[in-house]
Structure 1
Amino acid sequence: DHYTATRHPKWVAHDGAGKVIGTPPFEAGFYQTLCVNTPYRDFLKEHTAEILEAFPTDGLFFDIVRPEPCTCRYCREKMLTAGLEPSNAEIREQFGLQTINEFKEDMTRFVRERNADCTIFYNAGHIGPRHRPVKHAYSHFELETLPSGQCDCLGHTGKFHTSWGDFHSFKNLPALRYECLRMLTHGAKCLIGDQLAPSGQIDPHVYQLVGEVYQEVEQKEPWCTGSRRVTEKGVLTPEEFTGGEAGVLPDAIKGAVRMLEQGGHQFDVLGSASDFAKYRVLVLPDQIPVSAAFARTLEEYVGAGGSVMASFASGMDEQQTRFAANLFGVSLVHPGPRDLSGNLVRGKACERHDYCEYLVPKGPIGNGLPQTEHAMYRRGMAIQAGAGAEVLAPMVKSFFDRTYRHFCSHRQTPSSGEEVQPGIVRKERCIYFSSPIFSQFNDNAPRWCKQLVLNALQLLLPEPLVKHDGPSTLQVTLTQQEGQGRWILHLLHFIPERRSEQLDVIEDVIPLFKVKVWVKAPAPVREVTLVPEQAPLAFRREESYVGFEVDRINGHSMVSLTFG
């Protein structure tokens, strides 16, 4: 709020060095962060009350509401009163989160005293586990993936070519189709944002662009209204432990989502407080620490028939000194090598892969891969397998780690051929990867990393909900409409291309033809129909699956499976 910050500089938030959090005084921009522990909160309440009294209000959208580790006078006084030390950066981070959560609850109460029905949303660009304690302050969530909570869900995009404030620009029609249709595949509603010029008039082409997309959405609404995802796998996000907001999500969760999505798996992103009972497999990517209580939860889950896949530091205690969950049949041998400065190198991403090691896939875990060394660019955990554990793939060391003292060629040193430790271990229904394989995939997408993970999932769950013979660019999502007695299979195919230095674009729709799909149906299927076209599809029962073929996918196709 540039206007208010300029007139009330004492209300502006300050960082640990006492500097204003926001745009410097001689740079263009309105990003002045106001602290809600100052009298600004009272001002904002008066402003909000005036709006509610003067206008019939459908909803309130409070923008850029995020925690700040503020050191203004008001925050310092509040921390000291609470017995907290404001000079401690970690305490300021925690206090900032508590402050913004308390503000949301306070503002929602204030609004509800004046309007019981309007929607309330606090935007911060990303919805994650940090919103769980304050979710009741929201009437709904606006995001790009379906939340696991019970709030209503809205996907939010814009008509701009680049981002907000890009006046007189237009997103390509296929790109806008993709973004809105992807929202539908996750059971979310659609919203396309614009920003008006001072004239207050909407460009006629915007009406045409948005109208064309919403016309398609409207046709498909009967098979999307009230729908929820059908999933069988849960992926825990490290952001609960490491932090995460828009633009800075952990590498591991991004890599995991990409792998499973490209493999056609049906999954939810979870926190440690989620109900695991509905999932047949849990995935703990790279950085999921396990407390004693969480270890008991995981052991009970496996004891009840669930399966777990973990990698790197997942399953270890918070200090990463031992495995807290006794599920994977492995133990830490030693912390691993250190660099010349004395820092542990495990998990570290290096430009020239200085600490690379090599994994040799053997047997079923190596399906689709040659039985030879495969580069694992980030050094993994130094582990050994215990009693009852099966080594699925060994790890081979390089001749030496790359430093200025000894190096080979342009990048990592090649394999020495010497197997030194397990790389992938299985114990009953649990599989462990010693490498940070999900973070590595997010770095540079080695196909062998994805194939190893997909093979491991196949070992843990041989009959997934959905199978298809399409390319990895085909996004396959299953939803259900309980009241209608049907499942809806979404087949989404748009390919973003890096045609510029700054962003990926979607300019063309590349259709797919003759795609075969198999769905593991929970009950007898009466009919399979392409909707909204209402075109019946021939289908066949193949053991526990219903199989059918979709003749053409022109960006997005929906198939209704009606039970009974």
Structure 2
Amino acid sequence: MRFRQVHLDFHTSEAIDHIGSRFEKKQFQEMLRLGHVDSITVFSKCHHGWAYHPSQANQMHPGLSYDLLGAIIEAAHEIDVKTPVYLSAGLDEQLAVRHPEWWIRPRYGGHEDLFRPGYHQLCMNTPYLDTLLAQIDEVVQNYDADGIFLDIVGVRECYCASCVATVRGEGGDPRDIGVMRPLWERTYANYTRRVKETVHARRPGMPIFHNGGHIRRGRRDLAQMNTHLELESLPTGGWGYDHFPLSARYVQPLGMPFLGMTGKFHTSWGEFGGYKHPNALRYETALSLAHGAACSIGDQLHPLGSMDEATYALIGKAYKEVEAKEQWCLNTVNVADVALLSVEAAGAHTAEGGQDTFTGQSDAGAVRMLLEGNILFDVVDLESDFNAYRVLILPDHVRIGAALQPKLDAFLAQGGRVLATGESGLRAAEDAFAVDLGVRDAGINPYQPDYFRPLHPLPSLGEAAFVFYGQGRKVELTESGTEQGRRENPYFNRDAFTFCSHQHTPNSGEYGGPGMVESRNGIYIAWNLFEDYAVKGSLAAKETALFALNRLLPQPALRSSLPAQGSVTLQKQAGLSRYVQHTLYAVPVKRGDGIEIIEDLLPVYDVSIELRIPEKVHAIYLAPQMTPLDFEQQGERVAYTIPELECHQMVVLEYEEII
């Protein structure tokens, strides 16, 4: 997989003429060189449904008079730039207009405003699938494509006439969602299987990716329907800066090649004339490298076909740096102490607390805490090997079912420890703890919010009773537990007849039971603490969780003096006998209506790093600068200082192989 990719959208209305009339090979090539681009995903078919080349399987855009796809591929290949080819799969508006019976239909509602601009998604359990496969086959047969990228697809809920008829023909009742769900799964699996058969019949091994905007944690079967993964994650486009680290830390351990896809846009896809600050792209591409990913930046070609110089100058500022760093980012494995069992992967993303499609509040809050605490971690699912980690986090909503219980028991038996919060650790079918965490469940806590008084001073805030906003469980201490903090009740919950002041009721000081308990198996905190942090961002919540992790992980693989807005990862290139430690620092700020932007990248000086690794280190240097660093090694402990960090700095540790 190449590291410096561009994803070039071209969704162009039939109401625009002279399509591609200003495309020039030389100008196209100059822009790719300016952008330091080595792969560009180009377009066969757009959301409007038009082909951008002569076609027997589709209709060429009525405003296009020549083979634009062929011209682009020829121009790119001439300068050794790869060209995966894009086809809009889930959307095809010119077909949707002619075949409304192919539309995906919701069970309820579905009354479309015929005068609202937009697309209609098509069902793969209709004759549309055969049409799409013919279009894909035509591209693979006629063009020197370097891959196939299919967009707007996934397991879709659909009650179209075809789906209803299929279920009824099998003797099922389409009113039963439990009967319909297997059909929707089969429909998607059949679509991906037939695409693979179609593509690989002509080009065995050609890369194929099916894009749904998010890689679902816990659905390895869906991930493995691709040859590689592209993590669409535009921070300003709705994904935010929490999504990519969460997704990448899940994907890298799967062992599939993958990239991080951001965009050049100030907002999101389809924005003409919108540009983010160059420093934002520098940071976002560095974030991909630090998480073991290649890079992709989204752009959209103007209908007339001329590449935008400002865009490729912007991209080039980031990709020039990526090009210099690539050799230290190939074939890496993440080093992690902690496994975060994703709420989404555990199947609880619809639990109380509102877990959204892309991140989920509990997962996002946990990842944010781990990054800010400089904790090395992976995000895992129920198929992961927990024994590869020292600590397992069960965030807020992870109840223990039949699949998880034996893995958790084995993990604890070999010395692993757990950090559980909220309802995590309870049995799936009853309100009783499935493992000994030193507490006995007493039901949902009646007060929200209430107060936590740790029996230790928090590093930044000292001693106090801190408001926790998240829903909590009421628990009782057992003989195996040691109380590390207590719950204190408010006078009453806020309602129409009993309220106090502007927000919530003050602390009464009344003991409400244990709030944080430590046992031989780990630590339990009796609130949805990670969800609370995602929503409220309370310093007390974060420092409570990090206190627990520091007790569970007294000798972590990495310690750093980096401030909270920074992040660190440790990647291993075993084939080259070296570690590559990444340090990043940027401060996203809100601008406009909820858009997070990065503009200024302030330097940070004298960042101390301490690693614990088993190998004997013989050289440490900054990359790509190749500047040697002084270091100290005593046993497994290696310590050094990064003199200056501006955006992203790699430190390479070359070691001697253990014989």
TM-score by length of 1: 0.93
| Corresponding position of 1:256 | 366
AA of the residue aligned to 2:116:
E
CA contact (8 A) 1:328 1:389 kept: yes
Q: How far apart in 2 are the matches of 1:460 and 1:83?
A: 54
1:556 matched to 2:645? The reply is: no
Alpha-carbon offset, residue 377 of structure 1: 1.0
Q: 1:24/1:56 Cα in 2 relative to 1: closer, same or farther (>3 Å)?
A: farther
| Corresponding position of 1:152 | 257
SS in 2 for 1:462: coil
| Corresponding position of 1:329 | 438
Q: 1:450/1:532 Cα in 2 relative to 1: closer, same or farther (>3 Å)?
A: same
Q: How far apart in 1 are the matches of 2:578 and 2:117?
A: 53
| Corresponding position of 1:37 | 125
> What percent of counterpart residues are identical?
33
CA contact (8 A) 2:632 2:639 kept: yes
Query: Which blocks of at least 5 consecutive residues in structure 1 are unaligned?
Result: 338-353
> CA-atom RMSD, angstroms?
1.8
Alpha-carbon offset, residue 67 of structure 1: 2.1
Q: 1:556/1:68 Cα in 2 relative to 1: closer, same or farther (>3 Å)?
A: same
AA of the residue aligned to 1:51:
V
The answer to which of 170-179 and 289-298 deviates more is 289-298
AA of the residue aligned to 1:430:
G
SS in 1 for 2:483: strand
1:270 matched to 2:398? The reply is: no
1:443 matched to 2:552? The reply is: no
| Structure 1 counterpart of 2:390, from 280, 288, 310 | 280
1:361 matched to 2:454? The reply is: yes
Superposed CA offset, 1:78-110 (max 9, x none): 223445432134544454234223322232222
1:235 matched to 2:340? The reply is: yes
| Corresponding position of 1:340 | none
Mapping 1:281-300, distance limit 5 Å:
281-300=391-410
| Corresponding position of 2:173 | 85
1:2 matched to 2:93? The reply is: yes
| Corresponding position of 1:226 | 331
The answer to which of 117-126 and 430-439 deviates more is 117-126
Alpha-carbon offset, residue 455 of structure 1: 0.7
Mapping 1:145-544, distance limit 5 Å:
145-146=248-249, 147=251, 148-240=253-345, 241-243=347-349, 247-319=357-429, 321-323=431-433, 325-337=434-446, 355-363=448-456, 366-542=458-634, 544=636
Q: How far apart in 2 are the matches of 1:320 and 1:261?
A: 33
Q: 1:67/1:516 Cα in 2 relative to 1: closer, same or farther (>3 Å)?
A: same
Q: 1:297/1:37 Cα in 2 relative to 1: closer, same or farther (>3 Å)?
A: same
Alpha-carbon offset, residue 142 of structure 1: 0.7
| Corresponding position of 2:102 | 11
SS in 2 for 1:210: helix
Q: How far apart in 1 are the matches of 2:515 and 2:171?
A: 47
SS in 2 for 1:209: helix
Alpha-carbon offset, residue 408 of structure 1: 0.5
| Corresponding position of 2:146 | 58
Alpha-carbon offset, residue 465 of structure 1: 1.1
Q: How far apart in 2 are the matches of 1:414 and 1:371?
A: 17
Q: How far apart in 2 are the matches of 1:217 and 1:289?
A: 42
Superposed CA offset, 1:36-90 (max 9, x none): 0011111111111111111111111111102221111111122234454321345
CA contact (8 A) 1:18 1:71 kept: no
CA contact (8 A) 2:382 2:403 kept: no
SS in 2 for 1:205: helix
CA contact (8 A) 2:348 2:398 kept: no
SS in 2 for 1:49: helix
Q: How far apart in 2 are the matches of 1:524 and 1:15?
A: 60
Q: How far apart in 2 are the matches of 1:305 and 1:552?
A: 39
Alpha-carbon offset, residue 18 of structure 1: 6.0
Alpha-carbon offset, residue 543 of structure 1: 5.6
SS in 2 for 1:526: strand
Q: 1:83/1:441 Cα in 2 relative to 1: closer, same or farther (>3 Å)?
A: farther
Q: How far apart in 1 are the matches of 2:183 and 2:460?
A: 50
Q: How far apart in 2 are the matches of 1:273 and 1:91?
A: 26
Q: How far apart in 2 are the matches of 1:480 and 1:457?
A: 23
The answer to which of 371-380 and 103-112 deviates more is 103-112
AA of the residue aligned to 2:314:
L
SS in 1 for 2:387: coil
Q: 1:76/1:530 Cα in 2 relative to 1: closer, same or farther (>3 Å)?
A: same
Q: How far apart in 1 are the matches of 2:130 and 2:560?
A: 56
AA of the residue aligned to 2:204:
A
1:26 matched to 2:119? The reply is: no
Q: How far apart in 2 are the matches of 1:230 and 1:64?
A: 33
SS in 2 for 1:4: helix
CA contact (8 A) 1:361 1:369 kept: no
AA of the residue aligned to 1:273:
E
CA contact (8 A) 2:606 2:642 kept: yes
AA of the residue aligned to 1:234:
A
**What number of residue pairs does the alignment pair up?**
543
Superposed CA offset, 1:429-473 (max 9, x none): 311111000000000110011101111011001111111112111
Superposed CA offset, 1:195-251 (max 9, x none): 111111111122211122111101001111112211121101111313489854321
CA contact (8 A) 1:16 1:89 kept: no
Q: 1:267/1:314 Cα in 2 relative to 1: closer, same or farther (>3 Å)?
A: same
SS in 2 for 1:168: coil
CA contact (8 A) 1:361 1:370 kept: no
| Corresponding position of 1:348 | none
Alpha-carbon offset, residue 115 of structure 1: 1.7
Superposed CA offset, 1:308-330 (max 9, x none): 1111111112345222x223122
Q: 1:10/1:242 Cα in 2 relative to 1: closer, same or farther (>3 Å)?
A: same
Query: Which blocks of at least 5 consecutive residues in structure 2 are unaligned?
Result: 1-91, 232-243
Q: 1:508/1:294 Cα in 2 relative to 1: closer, same or farther (>3 Å)?
A: same
Superposed CA offset, 1:87-142 (max 9, x none): 13454445423422332223222221122132111111111235312333201011
Q: How far apart in 2 are the matches of 1:93 and 1:336?
A: 35
